[in-house]
Amino acid sequence: MKARLVTEVAGIVEASVEQVWQVLAGAPAEQGTTVEPDRHTITHQGGWWYRGEWTLSPHPDGTRVVHRVYDVAESMRWCVRPANRFFIGFRERTREGFAARLGVIARRLGCACRVT
């Protein structure tokens, strides 16, 4: 079954990809986390439906950070939306959580960041 994109949020951290990667990849890994240094990508598989991906790429102002959430349910896919109350507020909560994490990274690096 193909993964379905649920939401995506992006931002800029005004530091190099390598600096941002050191902070992001240096955080304690949760169970179900895959770190791919060559792609500057961290993937977290949680529960039966959730996969979150964080990807870094160069940007003229520093580093573009993208967080994508996918529905990867292989069975009972119809249950995902009801189980998450049709994702009411999910995008906003994801954006808020992303902004907070971006802020932590920027503070650790002593630079600015913004959600785009």
Domain that residue 14 falls in: 1-21+90-116
Residues shown for the chain: 116
**Geometric angle at alpha carbon 45, from 39 and 51, rounded to 5°:** 75
Question: Could you list the pLDDT tens digit for every one of the 116 residues in the chain?
Answer: 578 898 999 999 999 999 999 999 887 667 778 999 999 999 998 776 788 999 999 999 999 999 999 988 765 555 555 555 556 677 888 999 999 999 999 999 999 999 99
In a domain, 42, yes or no: no
Looking at residue 30, what is its pLDDT? 72
Q: Which residues of 10-39 are buried (b: 16+ CB within 10 A; e: fewer)?
A: bbbbbbebebbbebbbeeeeeeeeeeeeee
Looking at residue 2, what is its pLDDT? 78
Looking at residue 66, what is its pLDDT? 98
Task: Assess contact for 87 and 6: CB atoms under 8 A.
Answer: yes
Pick left, alpha or beta for residue 103 (phi over 0 → left; psi -120 to 50 → alpha; otherwise beta). Answer: alpha
Q: Which amino acid is at 5?
A: L
Helix (H, G, I), strand (E, B) or coil at 108: helix
In a domain, 37, yes or no: no
For the entire predicted model, the pTM comes to 0.85
In a domain, 68, yes or no: no
Looking at residue 50, what is its pLDDT? 82
Counted domains in the chain: 1
What's the rounded Cα separation, in Å, for the pair 3 and 74?
A: 9
Looking at residue 32, what is its pLDDT? 78
In a domain, 75, yes or no: no
Host H or E run for residue 34: strand 33-36
